[in-house]
């Protein structure tokens, strides 16, 4: 069996190498979570900007829930035309649409939109829904 010769200089060199390696790993671990958190926050902000769409829709006299819903869907303000139509019909909004121009924000609920296009509330600006 071969014996290893551990001299002081070899042990000192190995110790310094391990110390330096540990310091490098520690610094890398210390700074990487900060970068990840910053990139996550930026991603969330970008997602929020993508989801907030604002558009002006035109409601004409005798407009139907389908026509209004299609206009909203075409502008990315609602996800599902059929759900919008059903909501309007089941809640009686479809009989009370008021002709006019309305500013609609994608963050508004269907009830918010219904109340605006039926004249139950003032025309809601996008800034008021935040």
Q: Are 69 and 81 in contact (CB under 8 A)?
A: yes
**Section 1-10 average pLDDT:** 70
CA distances, 30 to each of 18, 42, 43, 103, 115 (Å): 18, 20, 21, 47, 52
Please name the residue that has the structure tokens 């121009």: 101
Architecture of the 52-129 domain: 2-Layer Sandwich (3.30)
Q: Are 53 and 106 in contact (CB under 8 A)?
A: yes
* DSSP structural state of residue 96: -
| Confidence check: pLDDT of 127 > 50 | no
pTM: 0.55
What does the domain layout of the chain look like in residue ranges? 7-51, 52-129
Q: Are 112 and 88 in contact (CB under 8 A)?
A: no
- Tokens at 67, concatenated: 């026509």
Summarize pLDDT for 43-97 with one digit per residue, the tens: 555 555 555 678 899 999 999 999 999 999 999 889 899 999 999 999 999 999 9
Return all residues near 50 (Cβ < 8 A) that are at least 6 apart: none
């Amino acid at each position: 069996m071969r014996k290893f010769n551990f001299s002081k200089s070899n042990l000192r060199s190995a110790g310094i190498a391990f110390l330096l390696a540990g310091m490098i790993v520690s610094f890398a671990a210390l700074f990487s979570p900060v970068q990840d958190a910053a990139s996550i926050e930026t991603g969330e902000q970008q997602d929020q900007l993508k989801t907030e769409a604002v558009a002006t829709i035109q409601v004409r006299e005798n407009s139907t829930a389908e026509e209004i819903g299609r206009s909203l869907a075409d502008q990315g303000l609602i996800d599902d035309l059929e759900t919008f139509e059903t909501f309007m019909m089941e809640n009686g909004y479809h009989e009370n649409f008021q002709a006019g121009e309305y500013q609609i924000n994608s963050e508004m609920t269907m009830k918010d939109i219904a109340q605006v296009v039926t004249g139950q509330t003032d025309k809601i600006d996008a800034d008021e829904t935040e």
